[in-house]
């Protein structure tokens, strides 16, 4: 049975961490849409070149083009047993395009598809974000709220100075999340109606979230 997972959740929900663990344990590729798009542009493929024209103008890459890039990726050999799709879809339009893609690539395959929604309150997300620190030397990421750090100004790995990103402010974060939730909400209903949505309480530690995930897969 081909296992297909879609991970939906705002930045800072811990979705990325869980994707990595699941990807390793189940030996399924983590298809992160943001990275995929960047790789495609860097590789100067036909679709990448097209996407670059929009990115260079500061425009959004059209949904049809993104879906083409995703389809090409999901058709690759390493996806034959399944995949974890992260960061896509973000809207109903994208979800409908994804339906089309999956129908095309899975025509004669027995598949199981599950959508995990990492649910977390906006104010908790903002709290996490403003407490996030990055090492100026090695790039390690810390969270003053959720991690125990001896010196809040120094990296424990390399001793570099811990800094806060300029855009990790409450105001910027709030704007970003408001847009995110507005976009995503209809998507949650879309998958709920189909009975394939699994809501994960993301306000929990890494281990218990993963247990919940695994329990839902079986």
Catalytic residue numbers, as ranges:
15, 90, 132, 165, 176
Among 42, 44, 75, 138, binds Zn ion (CB under 5 A): 138
Measured from the CB of residue 159, what is the shortest distance to Zn ion in angstroms? 7
Query: What CA–CA distance (Å, rounded) separates 218 from 212?
Result: 11
The encoded tokens of residue 170 equal: 């409450």
CB nearer to Zn ion: pick between 137 and 194: 137
Nearest approach, Cβ of residue 13 and Zn ion (Å) = 24
**Could you tell me how far CA 134 lies from the centroid of its own chain?**
20
Instruction: Please tell me whether residue 158 binds Zn ion under the rule CB under 5 A.
Output: yes
| One residue of 2, 160, 196, 198 binding Zn ion per CB under 5 A | 160
Which structure tokens are listed for 199? 């809501």
CA distance 138 to 162: 10
* Total count of residues recorded for the chain: 218
Of 44 and 138, nearer to Zn ion (C-beta) is 138
Q: Backbone phi, then psi, for 170, in 5-degree steps?
A: -60, -40
155 binds Zn ion per the rule CB under 5 A: yes
217 is a contact residue toward Zn ion (CB under 5 A): no
Identify which range of 12-20, 110-118, 153-161, 179-187 contacts Zn ion by CB under 5 A: 153-161
The torsion region of residue 20 among left (phi > 0), alpha (psi -120 to 50) and beta comes to alpha
Q: Is 149 an interacting residue with respect to Zn ion (CB under 5 A)?
A: no
Would you call 196 exposed, middle or buried from its count of C-beta atoms within 10 A (0-12, 13-18, 19+)? middle
Minimum separation from the CB atom of position 168 to Zn ion (A): 17
Record the tokens describing residue 53, joined without a space: 């024209």
User: Can you tell me which of 76, 80, 100, 137 binds Zn ion, judged by CB under 5 A?
Assistant: 137
> Which residues contribute to the site for Zn ion (CB under 5 A)?
135, 137-138, 140, 155, 157-158, 160
């Amino acid at each position: 049975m081909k296992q297909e997972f879609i991970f939906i959740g705002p930045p800072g929900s811990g979705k990325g961490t869980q994707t990595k663990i699941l990807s390793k344990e189940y030996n399924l590729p983590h298809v992160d849409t943001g990275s995929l798009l960047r790789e495609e542009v860097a590789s100067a493929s036909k679709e990448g070149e097209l996407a670059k024209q929009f990115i260079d103008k500061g425009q959004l890459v059209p949904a049809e083009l993104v879906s083409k890039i995703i389809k090409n990726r999901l058709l690759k050999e390493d996806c034959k047993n399944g995949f974890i799709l992260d960061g896509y879809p973000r809207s109903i339009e994208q979800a409908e395009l994804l339906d089309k893609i999956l129908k095309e690539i899975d025509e004669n395959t027995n598949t199981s598809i599950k959508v995990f929604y990492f649910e977390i309150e906006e104010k908790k997300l903002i709290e996490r974000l403003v407490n996030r620190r990055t090492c100026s030397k090695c790039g390690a990421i810390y969270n003053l709220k959720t991690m125990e750090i001896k010196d809040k100004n120094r990296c424990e790995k390399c001793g570099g100075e811990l800094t806060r990103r300029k855009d990790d402010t409450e105001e910027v974060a709030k704007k970003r999340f408001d847009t995110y939730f507005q976009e995503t909400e209809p998507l949650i209903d879309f998958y709920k109606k189909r009975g394939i949505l699994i809501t994960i309480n993301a306000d929990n530690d890494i281990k218990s979230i993963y247990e919940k995930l695994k329990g839902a897969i079986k």
